[in-house]
């Protein structure tokens, strides 16, 4: 038996590696589909005018449980349409309601949901979102359908969605239910499952809306959007820096996500005899997935380089491994992994790691159940531990970052802050902009490095409680050190404030776990993605195959 271990956090938790992650069977939108495929989906209300403005309600039911998406489509002047977080109006606003809303609920939500951050919802609501049309594709699609024909496939393929969301909020924001109210429900045990439900239902609304508008424009000639085209439309999403602090602020959750991926890989590599059906499934998904890379469009030089590296990696893999492997050898997956680790870049390695999971429901499904976290359980600092213990924890878990020279201006070039006007995270140059005195505690590497220096000058036999009585300015860093001792994948092992920081690497990590594809960076600080492209339509859910993500136009 070869010596197969989890990959080291020092290797995996760097920004460049995390920024090379891809969707996988563990991703939340795929686990949402698996969990809800047997539920009953209905369109309960659809009161839109001929221009597509009005209210709609979709419900998802099983036994005595129901969730409802309440949609409000509004008229929006084209000059007011903006994906930026500073926008105050959108083409449509959505809320996920717990149960079936009454008329009073809908009236209440109508007053508040279109206002988003300045409105107020209640504990009866679970997730909140808004979205703007892709003007080009939306108008083209309605025109085509009203004229009795399907939209041009190339136009649709170029964009890949009719609407893109600009934010999806959950868990206690703007009056939404706190997670503790609903966390015991087994169907939503995976992270962000309600947000995934909201986006999936929004996708259905976009199809119903274009069909309705086309029919209103030309009742006799209009046709419905074909299932094949609809299936290959997802929901776009513009994502900014808000996601980056999330992964720093939720260390045990981050660990559980990454650990699940690493444990899946370890279990797969440990399979002694790979069955031929499983190897065929891997090859089938690999082949189909390559088609998606060809339709991956971006103007970003950064992303284009990454895509080119990936394409080259996959060519090398096909030519030098897939044409020359020995199927009957023991530990085939482990041998394959060792080969890609030696021969490919981080992009290629992580792409194939995702692909290796495809044949193994039995390994992946139990891991998905462990991807949430009870963070409060690990919050308290064990003050009785000794300073010498903490020094060892830092040496063992943060050795990568102890080498960084934080006295160098380049290594502290950036600072993270919350903007006053939108209460959203931002990152700016410390040496050029004002406000660094209000820096958010996201420079963990710098603060742990500072803590390490101070601990070395402290009596090692003293307790942490004694140390903290005069060093509370580093309390947040002390807490994290005791968390990483139990959760080794809880920390980014890199400098999050250096001049070389590419914030979208942090976004890509999170978005890959969402199941997003076709990352399209619009700068180093925000990007567009597509969710649910290729996903089964509501009427196809019951018979869906989990590899739908590789279906494309």
Partner 1 sequence: MRTSSEIETISKRATKAAGFPWGIAEEVGKNIKNLELLGVSGVENLNRYLELVKGVETYGPKEISSENKIEPNSFCPFYTGSALLDSANKVEEIKNLTLYSIDFPILLIPFINRLSDRIGKKIKLQIDERSFLLNLNKFISSDSDLKGLIIENARIVKIEVQENIDSFQNKVWDQLYELSSETFVEETDRLKENAAGAGLADND
57 three-state secondary structure: strand
Positions in 208-227 near partner 1 (CB under 8 A): none
Stretch near partner 1 under the rule CB under 8 A, chosen from 178-186, 226-234, 296-304, 504-512 = 178-186
- 116 vs 238 by CB, closer to partner 1: 116
The smaller minimum CB distance to partner 1, of residues 57 and 393, is found at 393
* Contact stretch for partner 1 (CB under 8 A) within 207-215, 280-288, 453-461, 465-473: 465-473
Q: Which residues pair with 61 in a beta bridge?
A: 40, 66
Quick check: helix, strand or coil at residue 530?
strand
Comparison of 402 and 469: residue with beta carbon closer to partner 1: 469
Shorter beta-carbon distance to partner 1: residue 198 or 504: 198
Tell the smallest beta-carbon distance from residue 176 to partner 1 (Å): 7
Which of 104, 299, 376, 432 binds partner 1 (CB under 8 A)? It is 376
Is 463 one of the binding residues for partner 1 (CB under 8 A)? yes
Could you tell me which stretch among 174-182, 195-203, 288-296, 343-351 binds partner 1 (CB under 8 A)?
A: 174-182
Considering only 135, 291, 402, 465, the residue that binds partner 1 (CB under 8 A) is: 465
CA distance 134 to 156: 10
CB distance 228 to 513 below 8 Å: no
What is the SS3 assignment for 137? helix
Residue 380 found at the interface with partner 1 (CB under 8 A): yes
Which of 287/375 has CB closer to partner 1? 375
Binding characters for partner 1, 467-496, by CB under 8 A (x = yes): -xxx-xxxxxxxx-----------------
- Contact call for residue 173 and partner 1 (CB under 8 A): yes
Among residues 30, 26, 198, which one has the least CA distance to residue 544? 30
By CB under 8 A, residue 384 contacts partner 1: yes
Q: Which stretch binds partner 1 (CB under 8 A): 47-55, 91-99, 107-115, 166-174?
A: 166-174
Does residue number 87 form part of the binding site for partner 1 (CB under 8 A)? no
Among 49, 102, 180, 409, binds partner 1 (CB under 8 A): 180
Intra-chain end-to-end CA distance of the chain, in Å: 43
Taking CA 362 as the corner, what is the angle to CA 325 and CA 272, rounded to the nearest 5 degrees? 35
Site for partner 1 in 105-124 (CB under 8 A): 122-123
Q: Does 2 bind partner 1 (CB under 8 A)?
A: no
Q: Counting contacts by CB under 8 A, is residue 280 touching partner 1?
A: no
103 contacts: CB under 8 Å, gap ≥ 6:
none
Angle separating helix axes 301-317 and 276-294, nearest 10 degrees: 150
Considering the complex, state which of residue 179 and residue 290 has its C-beta at the smaller distance from partner 1: 179
How far apart CA 241 and CA 425 sit, in angstroms, is: 6
Task: Assign 3-class secondary structure to 426-492.
Answer: EEEECCCCCCHHHCCCCCHHHHHHHHHHHHHCCCCCCEHHHHHHCCHHHHHHHHHHHHHHHCCCCCC
Q: Please state the closest distance from residue 383 (CB atom) to partner 1, in A.
A: 3
The helix or strand, by DSSP H or E, that contains position 69, with its residue range, turns out to be strand 65-73
Of 290 and 475, which CB lies nearer to partner 1 in the complex structure?
475
| Residues contacting 153, CB < 8 A, separation 6+ | 229, 553
Of 82 and 440, CB closest to partner 1: 440
Site string for partner 1, 420-459 (x = CB under 8 A): ---------------------x------------------
Q: How many residues bind partner 1 (CB under 8 A)?
A: 34
Strands of the sheet containing 40-48, edge to edge, are 40-48, 54-62, 65-73, 92-98, 125-133, 161-170, 234-239, 527-531, 517-521
Closest C-alpha to 336, from 359, 307, 362, 364: 359
Residue number, 174 or 519, with CB nearest to partner 1 = 174
Of 508, 510, 532, nearest to 520 (Cα)?
508
**Which residues are registered as beta bridge partners of 163?**
133
E-only strand ranges, 226-325: 234-239
- At its nearest, how many Å lie between partner 1 and the CB of residue 146? 44
Extract the tokens encoding 343.
């021969």
Find the shortest distance in angstroms from Cβ 469 to partner 1: 5
Choices 183-191, 302-310, 460-468, 507-515; region in contact with partner 1 by CB under 8 A: 460-468
Spatial CB neighbours of 470, under 8 Å, sequence gap ≥ 6? none
Whole-angstrom distance, CA of residue 520 vs CA of residue 406: 32
Tokens in use for 163?
Answer: 């609407």
Applying the rule CB under 8 A, the residues between 324 and 363 that interact with partner 1 are: none
By C-alpha distance, which of 552, 547, 534 is closest to 234? 534
Q: What is the nearest approach in angstroms of partner 1 to the Cβ of residue 441? A: 4
Q: In this complex, which beta carbon is closest to partner 1, that of residue 282 or of residue 417? A: 417
Give min distance, CB of 143 to partner 1, in A. 44
Q: Which residues are at the interface with partner 1 (CB under 8 A)?
A: 122-123, 171-173, 175-180, 376, 379-381, 383-384, 418, 441, 463-466, 468-470, 472-479
């Amino acid at each position: 038996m070869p010596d197969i271990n989890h990959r080291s956090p020092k290797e995996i938790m760097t920004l460049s590696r995390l920024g090379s992650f891809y969707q996988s069977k563990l991703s939340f939108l795929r686990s949402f589909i698996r969990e809800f495929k047997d539920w009953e989906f209905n369109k309960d209300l659809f009161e839109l005018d001929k221009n597509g403005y009005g209210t709609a309600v979709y419900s998802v039911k099983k036994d005595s449980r129901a969730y409802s998406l309440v949609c409000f489509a509004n008229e929006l002047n084209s000059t007011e349409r903006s994906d930026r977080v500073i926008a105050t109006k959108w083409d449509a606003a959505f809320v996920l309601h717990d149960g079936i809303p009454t008329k009073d609920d809908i009236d209440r939500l109508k007053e508040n949901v279109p206002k988003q951050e300045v409105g107020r919802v209640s504990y009866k609501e679970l997730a909140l979102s808004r979205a703007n049309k892709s003007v080009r594709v939306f108008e083209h699609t309605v025109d085509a359908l009203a004229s009795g024909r399907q939209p041009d496939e190339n136009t649709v393929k170029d964009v890949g969605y009719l609407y893109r969301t600009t934010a999806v909020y959950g868990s206690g924001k703007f009056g939404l239910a706190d997670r503790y109210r609903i966390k015991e429900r087994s169907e939503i045990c995976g992270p962000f499952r309600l947000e995934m439900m909201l986006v999936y239902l929004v996708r259905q609304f976009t199809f119903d809306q274009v069909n309705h508008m086309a029919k209103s424009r030309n009742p006799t000639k209009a046709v419905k959007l074909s299932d094949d085209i609809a299936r290959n439309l997802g929901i776009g999403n513009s994502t900014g820096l808000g996601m980056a602090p999330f992964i720093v602020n939720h260390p045990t959750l981050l660990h559980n996500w990454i650990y699940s991926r690493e444990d899946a890989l370890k279990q797969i590599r440990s399979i002694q005899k790979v069955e031929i059906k499983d190897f065929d499934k891997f090859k089938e998904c690999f082949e189909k997935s390559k088609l998606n890379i060809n339709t991956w469009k971006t103007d970003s030089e950064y992303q284009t380089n990454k895509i080119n590296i990936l394409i080259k990696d996959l060519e090398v893999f096909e030519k030098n491994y897939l044409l020359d492997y020995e199927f009957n050898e023991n530990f085939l997956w482990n041998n394959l992994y060792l080969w890609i680790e030696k021969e490919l870049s981080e992009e290629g390695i992580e792409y194939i790691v995702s692909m290796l999971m495809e044949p193994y429901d039995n390994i992946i499904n139990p891991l998905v159940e462990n991807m949430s976290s009870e963070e409060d359980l690990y919050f308290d600092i064990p003050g009785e531990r000794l300073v010498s213990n903490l020094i060892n924890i830092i040496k063992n878990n943060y050795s990568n970052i102890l080498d960084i020279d934080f006295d160098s201006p380049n290594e502290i070039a950036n600072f993270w802050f919350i903007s006053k006007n939108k209460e959203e995270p931002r990152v700016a140059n410390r040496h050029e902009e004002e406000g660094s005195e209000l820096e958010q505690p996201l420079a963990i590497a710098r603060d742990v490095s500072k803590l390490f220096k101070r601990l070395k000058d402290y009596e090692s036999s003293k307790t942490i409680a004694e140390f903290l009585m005069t060093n509370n300015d580093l309390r947040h860093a002390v807490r994290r050190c005791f968390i990483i001792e139990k959760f080794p994948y809880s920390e980014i092992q890199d400098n999050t404030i250096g001049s070389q920081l590419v914030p979208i690497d942090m976004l890509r990590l999170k978005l890959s776990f969402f199941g997003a594809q076709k990352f399209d960076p619009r700068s180093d600080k925000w990007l567009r993605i597509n969710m649910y492209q290729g996903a089964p339509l509501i009427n196809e859910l019951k018979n869906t195959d989990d590899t739908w993500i590789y279906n494309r136009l």
